[in-house]
Structure 1
Amino acid sequence: MELEIVIRLLLAAFWGALIGAEREYRGKAAGLRTTIMISVGACFFTFMSQWIGGAGNPDRIASNIVTGLGFLCAGVIFRSDNNVSGITTAATIWSVAAVSMGVGAGYYFAAACAAIMILSILTLLTFLQDKIDFINEHKTLRITFKRSDSGHVRCKELFSTYNVKSKLITQHRNLDHIVLEWQIHGSKKSIDSLYAALLQDPVFEELVL
């Protein structure tokens, strides 16, 4: 029994380390040590659930792992302006815990399949995601210009010229300037060309992409 416990904990640490290494390589919030800790912890909680709950209630603790992980996942999701980051890392934490629960319960093959699938999604599908972004990127563009200039009209002209679709999100005015915030999307080439044209246009004083 003792050897089986060690094997399960080591397997949980192994799968957690593999997935965590990918997150560490990409500089994400939940890196190598974090995913290993989550993996080993979830595995041990599954042990305790089986031991404490007994045959009649083996999910006594394990059923609360998913709920408890929600707080941890929320901690790696960041929102700034109209951008949200960390959702993939949060989903990875959740998935790693599921793999480790499978190991803790003794379902080695299912846990291995799930871990390999998670790694495949994080690595192989990144290439596909980059291709999709190259074809159609989504960006938030903030533009500042003087109230006396026709910046809004000029923006629409440039968007049309470079085939970039746009949606005005916010508009702020003060004594001297107007700040427009646009949600734009188009090919990477189109957005890069648009940004270069905006930088050269004397109407716009400040750009944030």
Structure 2
Amino acid sequence: MSELTTTGHDFLIILAKLAAAFLFGGLIGFERQIRQRNAGLRTMVLVAVGAAAFVHLGGRLFGGEGETRIIAYVVSGIGFLGAGVIMKEGAQVRGLNTAATLWSSAAVGAFCGSGLIAEAAAVTIVVLAGNTMLRPLVNFINRQPINAATTEAFYRVHVVCAADKVTDARDLLADKLEHLHYPIQSIDVLTDNEDSVELAATLIPTTADSDVLDRVCAELAASPGIEAATWTVSPTL
């Protein structure tokens, strides 16, 4: 590699690339900031500008091959930053959309660093559309009730029994579900006091027939020693 010198023209080029990355990253970050996400305006700007700077540096040092190499590192390296904003709270996972937006901001910066400003603008528009225009559709879908006949989800059959009937209730619960070919992942004690115990049989994620589950609960509730029976469903991650 020969020694490089920076001319006024070269300096203006890097300024233009960084300015474009700053602008486009700022647009993406502004949308995140007004929604109070973990990674907001400053983070998106820095990711885009950093990606642009590294890609430009690779191009200056090694030409097109250098840009390609740096872009590959940006694609993989940004994953570590994205992993930092993903949090698991019980059965819920938060931050996936923010991590994906960070990844997209790095793509915008990489386009800017390669001098493909129009393409960077197009990616920015699509990212903004994904985070804004799709939101009403996502909210509409999330408000729909889970259909037990078509949705693969976590199903739980709950029974409340007398404290001295736990073993019998556990065996009856297992027999009823296995007879219907609903494989059981586990049977857990949810509440336990002197008078009664609540058991919950968690099925292996699958689809189920709500009418069948209703019938099973009715049969369980009518069994000796069982005080109540019901079932619940929650979406898989």
- CA distance in 1 between partners of 2:104 and 2:12 (Å): 26
Q: Does residue 32 of structure 2 align to residue 16 of structure 1?
A: no
- Among residues 100, 103, 110, which one is paired with 1:91 in the alignment? 100
Residue number in structure 1 paired with 2:7: none
How far is the alpha carbon of 1:105 from its aligned partner?
0.6
Residue number in structure 2 paired with 1:172: 188
Q: What letter matches 2:106 in structure 1?
A: A
Asked if structure 1 preserves the Cα contact closer than 8 Å seen for 2:22 and 2:45, the reply is yes
- Once the two structures are overlaid, the 10-residue window that deviates more, 54-63 or 82-91, is 54-63
Residue number in structure 2 paired with 1:78: 87
For the structure 1 residues 142 and 80, does the alpha-carbon distance in structure 2 shift closer, same or farther, using more than 3 Å as the test?
farther
Asked if structure 2 preserves the Cα contact closer than 8 Å seen for 1:38 and 1:97, the reply is yes
Instruction: Let me know the Cα RMSD of the aligned residues.
Output: 3.5
Q: Does residue 127 of structure 2 align to residue 118 of structure 1?
A: yes
Q: What letter matches 1:172 in structure 2?
A: D
Larger Rg: 2
For the structure 1 residues 67 and 143, does the alpha-carbon distance in structure 2 shift closer, same or farther, using more than 3 Å as the test?
same
Identity across matched positions, percent:
32
Cα offsets for 1:128-173 (capped at 9, x unmatched): 1111112246998999996439xx9xxxxxxxxxxxxxxx976422
| Secondary structure in structure 1 of the residue aligned to 2:68 | coil
| Secondary structure in structure 2 of the residue aligned to 1:27 | coil
- Among residues 28, 41, 49, which one is paired with 2:58 in the alignment? 49
| Secondary structure in structure 1 of the residue aligned to 2:38 | coil
Asked if structure 1 preserves the Cα contact closer than 8 Å seen for 2:56 and 2:67, the reply is no
Asked if structure 1 preserves the Cα contact closer than 8 Å seen for 2:55 and 2:114, the reply is yes
TM-score (norm 1): 0.69
Asked if structure 1 preserves the Cα contact closer than 8 Å seen for 2:29 and 2:45, the reply is yes
Q: Extract unaligned runs of 5+ from structure 2.
A: 1-9, 164-168, 170-183, 206-227, 229-233
For the structure 1 residues 175 and 130, does the alpha-carbon distance in structure 2 shift closer, same or farther, using more than 3 Å as the test?
closer
